[in-house]
Amino acid sequence: MKADRTRAMQDRADIFKAMGHPARLAMLIGLGRKARCVCELREMVGLDLSTVSKHLTVLRYAGLVDAERRGKRVFYSLRCPCTLDFLDCVERAIAERAR
């Protein structure tokens, strides 16, 4: 039973780690509006293609985004749209801290 709780906590920590980079957060927010190809995400965060691909791999491994090939392009979308609810909660916490 304890091992199950430990695994569950590790799974949660992995998701927080995946969200723990400004570029990945920006990509998640951008994907909240619509599915986007890697080239759009690269422009959005201003990083080179290989770095964006590495960040997307982290987000995919954490289960936060899905990838779909459309012709020669790969489009990413949010797997868990409720991620945006969590980010809204974070924004409220930041606003409260600022008061």
DSSP-assigned letters across all residues of the chain: -HHHHHHHHHHHHHHHHHT-SHHHHHHHHHHHHS-EEHHHHHHHHT--HHHHHHHHHHHHHTTSEEEEEETTEEEEEES-TTHHHHHHHHHHHHHHHH-
pLDDT of 1 = 63
Q: Looking at the 3D structure of the chain, how many domains does it have?
A: 1
- Say what percent of the chain tops pLDDT 90: 90
Over residues 34-47, mean pLDDT: 96
Domain hosting 62: range is 2-98
pTM for this predicted structure: 0.88
Give the CATH number, domain containing residue 39.
1.10.10.10
With beta carbons less than 8 A apart as the criterion, state whether 18 and 54 touch.
Answer: no
Q: What is the pLDDT of residue 21?
A: 97
